[in-house]
Amino acid sequence: MRPTKRSCKPIVLALVLTLAVTLAGCGKDPAAEKHEKQLFAMDTVMLLTAYGDHGDAALTAAVDAINALAADLDPEKAGSSVHALNAGAGGPVSVSEDCMRVLDTALAVYRDTGGALDPALYPVIQAWGFTTGQYRVPDKTELDELLAAKNTDGIILDTSNGTAALPAGMALSLGAVAKGYAAQKAIEAARAAGAERAIFSLGGNVQTLGDARPDGGPWQVAVTDPNDTGSYVGTLSVGETAVVTSGGYQRYFDRDGRRYIHILDPATGYPVDNGLASVTVVTADGTRADALSTALFVLGEDGALFYAAAHEDVDLVLVTDDGRVVVTAGLADGFTEHAEGYTYEYP
């Protein structure tokens, strides 16, 4: 067990950002040539970096993949698979293969975490104004009525016919999973275009291609200091994997002296307030990592650690409201502490 260090600085939220990669002495190596593109999609600023001769082609393919998914998985966009599914609630609707895969993962995590991630929470999210920016605090009666109309277990996927069906009166959003899937598909597109090494940051979703950077070192991903988003609480050294963070910093509003974050508890319809500031999930599958980051945030510290202990392919960095950074065993050797004012724990 690594030693802990203690101070009293409180923290609220955390964010995963990629660290700049410096490739000293590699300027003449074509495999180390750096290519970057930035775009805005899925309400997120995204930075894509690829290396080597095929870098530009890889980034073009990745951007195309992201834009296609952004259009297909947007519940507000007429013609998208999710919009059609919500409009056709009560009967089977043809959806894209991508939509089917994302929904299948969301439902698998829903079942695996006892409903902590719920794609059918969309009407509740709308009631809070998180889809439009017209924020409000719904009363308990309204939330209870919306929750009573939800029947996630009644969603039917027919992969052989490419259809999905929602119970009548329901609507869903795949926002808690879509960026993770987009990062994964973008990496697959970059690989198919010839890239061997890349790191893509889609907001709090980071996915890497290749076990190491062009200079042979591991990829470096930083977990941002929530009190100072220009800094970070520590860095993770990783190979080819996904690193996804969920936290209230991503979207929130303040009303009457209280902060309301966008991550809602499916059991109550209210924003989660359980002592966690952020959850970072490290696992190979970007779609699952994205879904789990939300689900484990909802479950809280004990529930998240229990889940990770039962799933050896999942590791976590938890940041708590009382100033602790909890790093699970699989990441301990690759985690470098950075910020003053936190307790670092390695259970």
Res 28: pLDDT: 54
Residues 239 and 325 grouped into a single domain: yes
26, pLDDT greater than 80? no
Bridge-based pairing state of the strands 324-327 and 343-345: parallel
In contact, 152 and 118? CB cutoff 8 Å: yes
**CA-wise closest residue to 55 among 218, 165, 214, 230:** 214
Range of the domain at 153: 81-173
Res 2: pLDDT: 44
Inside any domain, residue 210: no
In the chain, which ranges are continuous DSSP H helix? 55-72, 81-87, 97-112, 122-128, 140-148, 175-192, 286-310, 329-332
Residues 224 and 327 grouped into a single domain: yes
Residues 161 and 283 grouped into a single domain: no
173, 198, 231 — which closes off a domain? Answer: 173
Average pLDDT, the chain: 91
35-90 pLDDT tens trace: 999 999 999 999 999 999 999 999 999 999 999 999 999 999 999 999 999 999 99
Residues 258 and 154 grouped into a single domain: no
Is residue 229 very low, low, confident or very high in pLDDT (cuts 50, 70, 90)?
Answer: confident
* Structural domains in the chain (count): 2
125-170 pLDDT tens trace: 999 999 999 999 999 999 999 999 999 999 999 999 999 999 999 9
